[in-house]
Amino acid sequence: TSVVLWLGDDHPGALLELLQEFAVRGVNLMLIQSRPTGAGIGNYCFAVDAEGHVSDRRVAEALMGLKRICPEVRFLGSYPRAGASRADVRPLRRGTSDEEFTAASDWLARAQDGRA
């Protein structure tokens, strides 16, 4: 999945905020490049290639998180992997496995329906 992300402003930790959207969901980044926007010093955008498809819940949630904090997110596309195999999700810590995402989603649905 490829996106271009624009920072709202240049401040300490701005790039970390973007990267955390992927990290907390266990989405591995394959590429990150910074590019000046031409709007002046401190104005950058970042081209990011992430492992996984936009239809994968963890990737979709990361993109939603980025859309909330970035003034502009340009979705370039999600592409099939060579060999047609799915991304190997490597949970780094508790809360990033597919099963934990599903369990949390089910819990939230029950809470929204008043059943939790």
What is the rounded CA–CA span in Å between residue 59 and residue 55? Answer: 7
- Where is mean pLDDT largest: 22-36, 71-85, 92-106? 22-36
What is the pLDDT of the chain when averaged over all its residues? 85
What is the rounded CA–CA span in Å between residue 107 and residue 101? Answer: 10
Structure tokens at 112: 């929204």
CATH number of 2-80: 3.30.70.260
- Round the CA-based radius of gyration of the chain to a whole number and report it: 16
Q: Please report, for the chain, the start and end positions of each structural domain, with discontinuous segments joined by +.
A: 2-80
pLDDT band at 34 (very low <50, low <70, confident <90, very high): very high
Three-class secondary structure assignment of 51-115? CCCCCCHHHHHHHHHHHHHCCEEEEEECCCCHHHCCCCCCCCCCCCCHHHHHHHHHHHHHHHCCC
User: What letter would DSSP give residue 19?
Assistant: H
Indicate yes or no: pTM above 0.85.
no
Structure tokens at 65: 């998180």
- pLDDT for the residue numbered 54: 93
